[in-house]
Structure 1
Amino acid sequence: MKKWQLLSSAALLTLTLAACNSEKATDEQSAKDNTEVTEAAQFPVTIKDALDKEITLEKAPERIITLAPSNTEILFGLGLNDEIIAVNDNDTYPEAALSKESVGGMEFNLEQIISLQPDLVVAHESGLYSFNEQAIAQLESIGIPVFVVKDAKTFEETYETIEQIGKLTNKEKEAEEMIASIKEGIEEIEVKVADLEEKSVFVVVGTDPKLYVAGQETFISEMLEVLNVENAVPELGWPQYSSEQFVKSNPDIILVTYENDLAAIEENDAYAEMDAVKNANVKLVDSDTTSRQGPRIVEGIESIGEAIYPEVFNE
């Protein structure tokens, strides 16, 4: 090839690469602009929380503090790893949460929360005994918005929580995908257990010093419904049971959510004649996934399913 032809080819290649790079830069800038336009269109956002209190965000939060494990799991599940700057002492999942700064558990350090300068604090209705309305008002008085998540009793209320958090954090699409995934998993379980023989189940959530159980219209009771099993506790909520009531209920299976409750039931002479005790049907289920109103609902149901129908769920 002649020298002028080589120079011409090199020049053409340079122009082509420059055009490609320019086009790539334009595409990237366009994508960035579209993202900013989309976010701008969604904000400001105003949502009422569990206290019927309106919270308004002018833009998607970049610094988030979460005060409950279920909130934490939702936020990480939506892909907000970088935005989460602090969690609480009770967080155990996901693993990334363990490396985050903690602002407390039974009691929260208000000064520490303020010093971290969050754009959003996500609290929980069930935790207001340790993070009360006075603390919320103090934060909001200095411009730190606090969204209190409803203590969900049903899957539908959990879906609503996921949608709300998704809307507040500009993760609506991810929230929709999370909900769809949960619903799909539940449907698969319902098909799996549809033809199984129904069993009665008693869920113990504490034995020290009193016996507390999971009744009707609770989150864990809805998990039992998905598995097509009968909750042997007819009362609503989380009633306290006497030994006599417990023995009289005589369910096929007793589930406990804490390991120390296994021995408390199996080694108690008062319960020795219960069918579940005699047949070694006192089983431990995962306390986190069966109690946290978040993205691991399906795992919680499966934990219960493995205890009740091991031949089906351990395949």
Structure 2
Amino acid sequence: MTTYIDQLGTSHTFESQPNRIVSLVPSQTELLFDLGLEDSIVGITKFCVHPVHFKVTKTIVGGTKNIKFDKIKALQPDIIICNKEENTKEIVDELSQICPVWVTDIYTIEDNLQMISDFGQLFNKRTEAQKWIDKINSAYQDFQQFIQEKPIKKAAYFIWANPYMVAGNHTFINELLKINHFQNIYEAKESRYPEIELKKIRLEGDPDYVFLSSEPFPFKDEHAFEIGRFTHHAKTVFVDGEMFSWYGSRLLKAFAYFKILHTKI
């Protein structure tokens, strides 16, 4: 009998190591795979696109917000992996009737490393987890040296259109913007993903860069042109949303991506 505590402070007791996993968070599905847990993963969401072969080898149980509970129950999982931002409390409460639901809560690099360590403990993959932690820490230190001389620039990171929405404070995106020496002009907003008016963008911060994320909304040139009409001098850049918003093992690739991004902008 072993007890572990998730990132919401919830205690979970297991009589044996959980071997049948349902993952309802795309980036965490990728991490579980990278920890060597492919054979233990029985259910994923339709948004779990990495690794690509999972869409044909694993059972898809809906999206992150629209879960097919009967499908999950039929898989007889030992544990369900959720995230505070991706999955609602109502979903977590209902899933708890099936089996223990492990909820992550990630806003910082430290939170991310804690999640990897937790999974290593939970699934007896401590060595694999430590390898990933070491690789990410090494890449982070290298990136900090790369970025230290670069000036801080103002930025707005768009995640949605019609209505236009941006990443605000208390988000992993905001953390990664800071690491990249970008000051988020919407960081002071109360909402984590505030809806904004384009005509006020210069008044609210007049960014040097406007980042249009590849997910969850597929921005096109027409959106870049529309936003550009309301900025003073901002450069609009299409960015890979996975690199700015996926935590887990993806962060290792993100640091390499950020280096390339800085050479282009």
**TMscore range, shorter length:** 0.7 to 0.9
Tell me by how many angstroms 1:272 deviates: 5.3
Deviation of 1:133 after TM superposition, in Å, equals 3.9
Tell me whether 1:228 sits opposite 2:228 in the alignment. Answer: no
The CA distance in 1 between the partners of 2:70 and 2:44, in whole Å, is 15
Distance 2:208 2:194 in 1: 20
- Map 1:18-97 onto structure 2 (within 5 A): 44-97=1-54
Whole-Å Cα distance in 2 between the matches of residues 70 and 131 of structure 1?
21
- Corresponding residue for 1:261? 219
Give the aligned partner of residue 210 of structure 1.
163
Aligned to 1:285: 239
Asked whether the equivalents of residues 6 and 102 of structure 2 are also in contact (C-alpha less than 8 Å), the reply is yes
- The secondary structure found in structure 1 opposite 2:96 is helix
User: Structure 2 regions of 5+ residues with no counterpart?
Assistant: none
Deviation per residue, 1:29-53 (Å, 9 max, x gap): xxxxxxxxxxxxxxx3212234543
Whole-Å Cα distance in 1 between the matches of residues 179 and 132 of structure 2?
19
Tell whether 2:203 aligns with 1:244: no
Which entry has the higher C-alpha Rg, 1 or 2?
1
Whole-Å Cα distance in 2 between the matches of residues 282 and 203 of structure 1?
10
2:260 match? 306
Task: Say if 1:107 and 1:130, in contact at 8 Å, map to a contact too.
Answer: no
Matches within 5 A, 1:151-162: 152-162=106-116
Q: Which moved more, 1:260-269 or 1:172-181?
A: 260-269
Please state whether the residue corresponding to 1:188 is helix, strand or coil.
helix
Specify which structure has the higher proportion of helix. 1
Cα pair distance change 1:218/1:133, threshold 3 Å: closer
Matched pairs, number: 258
Within the alignment, does 1:118 sit opposite 2:77 as a pair?
yes
Structure 2 CA distance, aligned partners of 1:273 and 1:177? 44
Conserved in 2, the CA contact under 8 Å of 1:227 and 1:305? no
Residue number in structure 1 paired with 2:103? 148
Counterpart amino acid of residue 109 in structure 1: K
TM-score normalised over the length of structure 1: 0.74
- Residue deviations 1:196-232 (CA, integer Å, cap 9, x gap): 333222211112x222222234212221222233323
Displacement of 1:302:
4.0
Partner SS state of residue 62, structure 2: coil
Q: Which TM-score applies when normalising by structure 2?
A: 0.86
CA RMSD of aligned residues (A): 2.4
Q: Is the 8 A contact 1:285 1:304 kept in 2?
A: no
For 1:75 and 1:260, locate their aligned partners in 2 and report how far apart those are by CA, in whole Å: 27
In the alignment, structure 1 segments of 5+ residues that lack a partner are 1-43
Taking the aligned partners of 1:62 and 1:79, their CA distance within structure 2 comes to 12
